[in-house]
């Protein structure tokens, strides 16, 4: 929503009043986000010229300015239909200084690097490559934007709500008189996702219009805000435990934490919460918590549904690498579909920043002797192999310090293979694993802990790993069979040959494949008898699903001492995804998904790897790490895996759901909530609430559900909010997925994420949840 307003020709006094109002509003918003009087904020509010860079010939100067809401950046455009354009600070993923994007590296020279910066947007929106007129201005733009982003992230729920509502009210104030008429109030309610009948709006208006002036102003608007944000459900919970002169004493709060939240805490912990979150100094001195302080606490990360202890690396990271689920990407280079979508180093950066620990590189002979990466036999664009390796080197360990696997799909001839090896060795340096760790031939994988900050190459190898410890060992053959996936790519273009095709393999490339040697899968018996631990197979999704359904226990035993990689079928030309859960249930570690495609399957992947510090590694349950295991996810029998739980969920309410079509003022959400369980087949279930008409601001359901969970260590719960539609498919509003083992009991808020996995500011679900053991 643009904050600019079309109006008649201004008089001089109009302009003076407007400038004063803009200054007042920007000052108020600066204060709300904690940047009152900040020099960098003032610089952004004043604005200035920046050069947009799109190609070597398209570099044009445009005026950019932060608007007075301190949340929207406006910039001029010379497009016929879009003379003015805006984007929200909330839409920015990050701001990169220097020539840190593909565009700036291609279309600018190194000597202007200090004047360059890139705004990276969430989702599929294109980067904005910019160049300031001086180094100092570039620094101020980056510093100002980063301050606003950081401060917005650190605002508590109350502050975010206040900031948002303040600006929605201002936008509804059409005549800019700092008052709200009944007509403006109705417009405001639609803006914040509430459709009310005229009589209710009139009652609400009359209740606040104590001066009977026909408008709301000053304290009346504050009263209206309080009525609007009042939470009845919080009143009920608070009043039950506020047994000390109408407030919660530390003892009362402790009772709530023990009884409702099922937390193992002491009176000292309750006192700390009062000191940390109580807003009223008098109550704080009396060691009490008011209702406002209680609501403040309930909206803190530590009180959310996700167990805050799991936000750090808390699992044992010293076990062999194959004992972990590893967050993995397929066709990592693609930004969109795999027929004609663009290939980009940016796709690798985005995957790595989302904790992906196994990325795929499809390598082909390129012009000028330089190998390229793209989806072979298609119209996808190409990106230089060496540029991809540079981007991986730069961003691999910014989110997680644990090892990254580079999965090579090699279609290059010998000369360019040698250059691939040379690039990886020179760019990755000592971080690249080029020989086994230790002085003796290993018998199992090193651990993620031992491999911190290191890169492993997955690909073909000409000889056994023992060659490192065998003097004068020679390579007898210089050809290897193609990977299953590489053969499939070729098979789509050429008729399949009965004999498995072979490719020449450069010794230089072969020698840096250490712990992840690709081999063809010829059956579990063959693998057990012939495969070394470091020899791993890749399975197309259909083959893996067949094995998971028909030979689950054998698949589990195979994965106890070897790695398995699963990849999507080549027929998924739209880069859609398969369900990863059955693969995880059988212990498959590298379950590769198309990270560029927002979908339920990617939500599950994000939920699976949410705990353990978002490290990209999750320790598999003990029964998936034991050769003697008799676990079969399809046919459950008694065993340590059977830890039956009952999950009770009461979906109480939601807060500030986003409008799906912001341009249509009347497109109010009719929300419902689905609760879905994913895990072993016996645990898969889904239930949904009734829908609420025309209320996305504060809908309330109070619907109860019960789920039986047989294997909780493999179960995920997904909360999905949809906009009900009686004539077509419901529209997606937001979701949140997490493992059952990371769920906190009690009254919990749940943040909501977009299709792309980004947090929706201020939007939450409020639930009561209880996971109870039945044994």
CATH of the domain at 552: 3.20.20.190
Q: Nearest-CA neighbor of 328 among 597, 609, 590?
A: 590
> pTM, whole model, 2 decimals?
0.90
Does residue 187 lie within any of the structural domains? yes
Q: What is the pLDDT of residue 5?
A: 38
Separation between Cα atoms, residue 409 and residue 279, nearest integer Å: 58
Does residue 334 lie within any of the structural domains? yes
Q: Let me know whether 213 and 267 are in one domain.
A: no
Indicate if 520 belongs to the active site. Answer: no
Q: Nearest-CA neighbor of 50 among 130, 141, 129?
A: 130
Q: Nearest-CA neighbor of 280 among 289, 270, 268?
A: 289
Does residue 630 lie within any of the structural domains? no
Domain boundary among 182, 207, 228: 228
Q: What is the pLDDT of residue 8?
A: 45
Kind of pairing between the strands at 516-518 and 479-481: unpaired
The H or E element containing residue 549 is: helix 541-550
Domain with 94, as residue range(s), is 12-154
Does residue 672 lie within any of the structural domains? yes
Q: Let me know whether 128 and 248 are in one domain.
A: no
Indicate if 557 belongs to the active site. Answer: no
Separation between Cα atoms, residue 332 and residue 357, nearest integer Å: 11
pLDDT at 659 over 90: no
Q: Let me know whether 596 and 559 are in one domain.
A: yes
Q: Let me know whether 669 and 610 are in one domain.
A: no
CATH label of the domain that carries residue 109: 2.30.29.30
Q: What is the pLDDT of residue 498?
A: 42
Separation between Cα atoms, residue 538 and residue 584, nearest integer Å: 15
Q: What is the pLDDT of residue 666?
A: 54
Q: Among residues 310, 323, 330, 710, which one is catalytic?
A: 330
Q: Let me know whether 218 and 329 are in one domain.
A: no
Q: Let me know whether 347 and 465 are in one domain.
A: yes
pLDDT tens digit sequence for 749-763:
999 999 999 999 889
Q: What is the pLDDT of residue 53?
A: 95
Q: Which residues contact 82 (CB under 8 A, 6 or more apart)?
A: none
Question: Which pair of tokens denotes residue 581?
Answer: 């859960």
Q: Let me know whether 288 and 332 are in one domain.
A: no
pLDDT tens digit sequence for 298-310:
999 999 999 999 9
pLDDT at 674 over 50: yes
pLDDT tens digit sequence for 597-614:
999 999 999 999 999 999
Binding-site annotation, residues: 52-79, 331, 360, 362, 409, 458, 460, 538, 565, 668, 670, 694, 723-725
Q: Which of 48-57, 214-223, 383-392, 670-679 is least confident?
A: 214-223
Q: Nearest-CA neighbor of 681 among 578, 585, 772?
A: 585
Question: Which pair of tokens denotes residue 334?
Answer: 């693609």
Separation between Cα atoms, residue 208 and residue 202, nearest integer Å: 10
pLDDT at 171 over 80: no
Domain boundary among 106, 127, 154: 154
Does residue 315 lie within any of the structural domains? no
Q: What is the pLDDT of residue 4?
A: 36
Q: Three-class SS of residue 256?
A: helix
Q: What is the pLDDT of residue 1?
A: 33
Q: What is the pLDDT of residue 3?
A: 38
Q: What is the pLDDT of residue 497?
A: 45
Q: What percent of the chain has pLDDT over 70?
A: 92
pLDDT tens digit sequence for 373-386:
998 888 888 999 99
Q: What is the pLDDT of residue 224?
A: 84
Q: Let me know whether 150 and 164 are in one domain.
A: no
485 against 33, higher pLDDT: 33
Q: Three-class SS of residue 596?
A: coil
Q: Let me know whether 121 and 200 are in one domain.
A: no
CATH label of the domain that carries residue 745: 2.60.40.150
Q: What is the pLDDT of residue 155?
A: 81
Separation between Cα atoms, residue 71 and residue 167, nearest integer Å: 10
Q: Let me know whether 402 and 292 are in one domain.
A: no
- pLDDT bin (cut points 50, 70, 90) of residue 720 is very high
Q: What is the pLDDT of residue 332?
A: 95
CATH label of the domain that carries residue 207: 1.10.238.10
Does residue 638 lie within any of the structural domains? no
Binding-site annotation, residues for substrate: 52-79, 458, 460, 538, 565
Domain count, the chain: 5
Q: What is the pLDDT of residue 158?
A: 75
Question: Which pair of tokens denotes residue 412?
Answer: 């290059």
Q: What is the pLDDT of residue 483?
A: 65
Q: Three-class SS of residue 418?
A: helix
Handedness of CA 553, 559, 564, 568 (dihedral sign): positive
Q: Nearest-CA neighbor of 687 among 703, 671, 698?
A: 703
Question: What is the arithmetic mean of pLDDT over 302-328?
Answer: 97
Q: Quickly tell me which residue has 């201020």 as its tokens.
A: 762
Question: What is the arithmetic mean of pLDDT over 90-102?
Answer: 92
Q: Which of 163-172, 346-355, 432-441 is least confident?
A: 163-172
pLDDT at 352 over 50: yes
Report whether 765 contacts 719 (CB < 8 A).
Answer: yes
Q: Let me know whether 252 and 165 are in one domain.
A: no
Q: What is the pLDDT of residue 6?
A: 40
Q: What is the pLDDT of residue 104?
A: 93
662 against 378, higher pLDDT: 378
Q: Nearest-CA neighbor of 573 among 690, 466, 492?
A: 492
Q: Among residues 310, 375, 749, 768, which one is catalytic?
A: 375
Q: What is the pLDDT of residue 2?
A: 34
Q: What is the pLDDT of residue 775?
A: 52
Average pLDDT across the chain, whole number: 90
750, 752, 756, 760 alpha-carbon torsion, rounded to 10°: -130
Question: What is the arithmetic mean of pLDDT over 85-108?
Answer: 91
Ramachandran quadrant class, 573 (left: phi over 0; alpha: psi -120 to 50; beta: rest): alpha
Binding-site annotation, residues for Ca(2+): 331, 360, 362, 409, 668, 670, 694, 723-725
Separation between Cα atoms, residue 509 and residue 371, nearest integer Å: 13
Question: What is the arithmetic mean of pLDDT over 118-123?
Answer: 91
Does residue 303 lie within any of the structural domains? no
Question: Distance between the two ends of the chain, CA-based, in angstroms?
Answer: 54
Domain boundary among 228, 261, 285: 228
pLDDT tens digit sequence for 238-263:
999 999 999 999 999 999 999 999 99
Q: What is the pLDDT of residue 503?
A: 83
Q: Let me know whether 483 and 575 are in one domain.
A: yes
Q: What percent of the chain has pLDDT over 90?
A: 69
Does residue 198 lie within any of the structural domains? yes
């Amino acid at each position: 929503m643009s904050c600019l307003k079309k109006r008649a020709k201004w008089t001089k006094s109009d302009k003076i009043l407007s400038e004063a109002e803009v200054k007042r509003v920007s000052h108020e918003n600066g204060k709300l986000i904690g940047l009152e009087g900040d020099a960098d904020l003032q610089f952004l509010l004043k604005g200035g010229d920046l050069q947009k860079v799109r190609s070597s010939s398209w570099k044009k100067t445009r005026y950019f300015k932060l608007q007075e809401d301190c949340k929207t950046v406006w910039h001029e455009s010379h497009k016929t239909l879009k003379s003015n354009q805006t984007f929200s600070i909330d839409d920015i993923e990050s701001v990169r200084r220097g020539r840190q994007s593909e565009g700036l590296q291609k279309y600018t020279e190194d000597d202007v690097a200090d004047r360059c910066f890139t705004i990276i947007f969430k989702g599929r929106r294109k980067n904005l490559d910019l160049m300031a007129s001086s180094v100092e201005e570039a620094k101020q733009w980056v510093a100002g934007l980063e301050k606003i982003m950081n401060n917005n992230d650190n605002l508590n729920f109350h502050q975010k709500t206040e900031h948002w509502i303040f600006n929605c009210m201002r936008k509804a104030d059409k005549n800019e008189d700092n008052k709200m008429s009944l007509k403006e109030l109705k417009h405001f309610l639609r803006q914040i996702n509430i459709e009310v009948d005229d009589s209710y709006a009139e009652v609400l208006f009359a209740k606040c219009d104590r001066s009977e002036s026909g408008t709301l102003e000053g304290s009346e608007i504050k009263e209206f805000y309080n009525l609007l944000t009042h939470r009845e459900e919080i009143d009920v919970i608070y009043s039950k435990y506020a047994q000390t002169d109408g407030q919660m004493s530390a003892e009362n709060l402790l009772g709530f934490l023990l009884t409702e939240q099922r937390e193992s805490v002491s009176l000292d912990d309750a006192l700390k919460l009062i000191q940390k979150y109580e807003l009223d100094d008098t109550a704080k001195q009396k060691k009490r918590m008011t209702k406002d302080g209680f609501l403040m606490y309930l909206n803190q990360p530590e009180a959310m549904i996700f167990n805050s202890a799991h936000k750090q690396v808390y699992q044992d990271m010293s076990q062999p690498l194959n004992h972990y689920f590893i967050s993995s990407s397929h066709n990592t280079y693609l930004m969109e579909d795999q027929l004609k979508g663009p290939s980009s180093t940016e796709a690798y950066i985005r995957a790595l920043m989302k904790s992906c620990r196994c990325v795929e590189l499809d390598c082909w002979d390129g012009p000028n002797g330089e190998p390229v990466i793209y989806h072979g036999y298609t119209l996808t664009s190409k990106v230089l192999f060496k540029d991809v390796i540079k981007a991986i080197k730069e961003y691999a360990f910014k989110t997680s310090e644990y090892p990254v696997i580079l999965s090579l799909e090699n279609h290059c001839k010998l000369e360019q293979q040698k250059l691939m090896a040379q690039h990886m060795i020179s760019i990755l340096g000592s971080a690249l694993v080029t020989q086994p760790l230790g002085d003796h031939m290993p018998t199992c994988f090193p651990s993620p802990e031992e491999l911190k900050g290191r890169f492993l190459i997955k690909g073909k190898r000409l000889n056994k790993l023992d060659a490192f410890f065998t003097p004068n060992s020679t390579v007898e053959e210089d050809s290897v069979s193609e990977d299953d996936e590489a053969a499939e790519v070729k098979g789509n273009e050429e008729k399949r040959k009965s004999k498995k095709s072979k490719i020449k393999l450069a010794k230089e490339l072969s020698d840096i494949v250490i712990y992840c040697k690709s081999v063809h899968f010829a059956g579990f018996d063959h693998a057990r008898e012939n495969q070394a631990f470091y020899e791993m197979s890749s399975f197309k999704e259909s083959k893996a699903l067949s094995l998971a359904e028909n030979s689950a226990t054998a698949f589990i035993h195979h994965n106890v001492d070897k790695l398995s990689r699963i990849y999507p079928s080549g027929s998924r030309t739209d880069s859609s995804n398969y369900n990863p859960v059955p693969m995880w249930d059988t212990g498959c570690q590298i379950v590769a998904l198309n990270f560029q495609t927002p979908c339920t399957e990617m939500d599950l992947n994000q939920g699976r790897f949410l705990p353990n510090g978002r490290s990209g590694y999750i320790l598999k349950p003990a029964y998936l790490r034991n050769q003697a295991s008799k676990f079969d996810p399809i046919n459950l029998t008694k065993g340590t895996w059977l830890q039956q739980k009952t999950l009770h969920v009461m979906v109480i309410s939601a807060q500030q759901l986003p409008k799906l079509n912001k341009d249509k003022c009347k497109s109010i959400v009719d929300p419902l909530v689905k609760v879905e369980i994913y895990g072993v087949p016996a645990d898969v279930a889904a239930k949904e609430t009734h829908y609420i008409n025309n209320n996305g601001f504060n809908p309330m359901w109070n619907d109860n559900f019960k789920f039986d969970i047989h294997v909780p260590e493999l179960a995920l719960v997904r909360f999905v909010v949809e906009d009900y539609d009686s004539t077509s498919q419901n529209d997606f509003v937001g979701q949140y997925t997490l493992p059952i083992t990371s769920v906190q009991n009690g009254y919990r808020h749940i943040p909501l994420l977009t299709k792309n996995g980004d947090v929706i500011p201020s939007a939450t679900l409020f639930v009561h949840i209880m996971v109870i053991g039945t044994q």
